[in-house]
Structure 1
Amino acid sequence: MDNRLPSTKEMQAFIVTAEHLKFTVAAQSLNLTQGAVSRQIISLEKKLNIPLFHRHARGLSLTDKGKDFLPLVKQVINQMKSAVEKVSDIKPIIRLKVPSCITTWLLPQIMAFQQAFPDIAVELTSSIKHDINFAFESFDAAICYCTVIKDKNLSSQLLFEEYLTPVCSPSLLTEAQTQLSIEEMGQLPWLHATPQQSDWSLWLNEAGCASLTAKHHQNFATLDLAVGAAIQGFGISIGDVTLAASELEAGRLCQPHSLQVKSGKGYYFVFPKVTNNLTLQNLINWLDS
């Protein structure tokens, strides 16, 4: 093996290429030419005396050694960033990935956190995906919607459990109504956060009305889209009590039925056990308070 250590440019080129598995996309992300990125990867492979990628006609894939090397390189880069933050005036950054459905609940808390900790920046990215792969995604932490975190390489803290209940615009109820029976709800359109319509199925099963269905159904790609349609009066959605709290308090949503069902899932703050972002605990404590 070449005794010379890899350069930071070579390591960054490797990380970005491993994330995209295409030299062209990695080059665009790094603002380099495709040839420059390819040369950095070849130089790194020569120093290690191992291939890091399998080259295919339509892209790349990591070799077994490449898969082993990636988290180690990320750890080194993170340690370097942490060392720079400790001795410089650069503001620490927490790069946080979250599902889009949680942003309404999260944004006020992030804004308050930034006021309380002005020297810590939070770079927020929303996604329709509810999971995270820190080996391939450049985030310090994530909020994941799931059951329990079983990955031994991850640390996690439950922020809140999910409780499901129907929500709709108050405009769908008459002045004399504060609640609707399940049969009355069946006369209105049901808005679904997934094509599988699993939230409604879970709630109806707990209500003892598993066979009941609505006359009209509308599917959406995410929970926030379904609840957003409910706010506009297009029908009834199944929402999470915590996530819908601000809309319920403001009167933009109401609960036409009192039954709340625990889904068995929740929203977890997740981050690698091996991390050098010393500011994460401040954000965890804030969100959990």
Structure 2
Amino acid sequence: MIERKMPPLNALRAFEATARHLSVKNAAEELCVTPGAVSQLLKTLEFHLGVKLFHRVNRGIFLTDIGQTYLPPVRNAFRQITEASSRIASAMETGMLTVSVTSFFASAWLVPRLTQFQNDNPEIDLRVVTSNQLVDFSRDSVDVAIRHGLGVYPGLSSHRVLAAEIVPVAAPQLVERLGQPATPSDLTHWPHVHDAERKAWHRWFQSQGIEDVGPPRGPSFDDSGLLVKAVLAGQGVGLLPAAMVAPELAQGQLVKVAGVTLLEDFAYYLVYPEARHERPKVAAFRRWILDSAAEAGLSG
């Protein structure tokens, strides 16, 4: 069996438009090309098929019997493509919205407020996935992400949601060994435990008026839960959201070694590819989360 190649798509579009209008001129206007271009596309299609699709007479153009037989499946194919494209476009506007977020932010802030989002946007089904890894939007099935950092993500739109109060904490055995620091500068000599970006301590020392602290040393973790465990194990002093370590402080498992600080630029940010900025379901989530943070008096 001889396998034929599919006819050129532009030629099929020219055929369908000309057959619908029974006019090369009108088909050309619809397709935004010249009548000569449409005529050439029709000749290309007829040559490809090896048949005549139109009768050309002085007063107009008419479908041959073969052309009339060919038109319905071609028209149906274009309709199916249009309907499928519309369904996909609609799914991009509504349907499932996947949000990647750290487990702490999800449990402490996002989840308790989701009822309001669902009430305001019943057409959007929210899927929350917890991860501390940076999202690869080209590979991961994620629409938007919420991450803690400085908000500088090349190629991504970034919106500051809220700044969390952070506090330097250490295990009791480390404090007993090194002594309770009298001033923030004393912590420059302590071992540090870092987040993945390794910038939080530098920002914290700057906020205390301490500039010359040298390069960051010590272990770093991209999982806040592991960072807490490292601090509990006495590996160093860590900077953590005050709300996150409140239970450990209350139970005496951790000790506060300096006051609570609010670093305005070191915050939780909503991030997503710039191309998704106007996507309706992304825009709806952006409006909601920024408004929710503003109402709570937490945004900047």
The structure with the largest alpha-carbon Rg is 2
TM norm structure 1: 0.50
TM norm structure 2: 0.49
- Choose between structure 1 and 2: higher helix proportion: 2
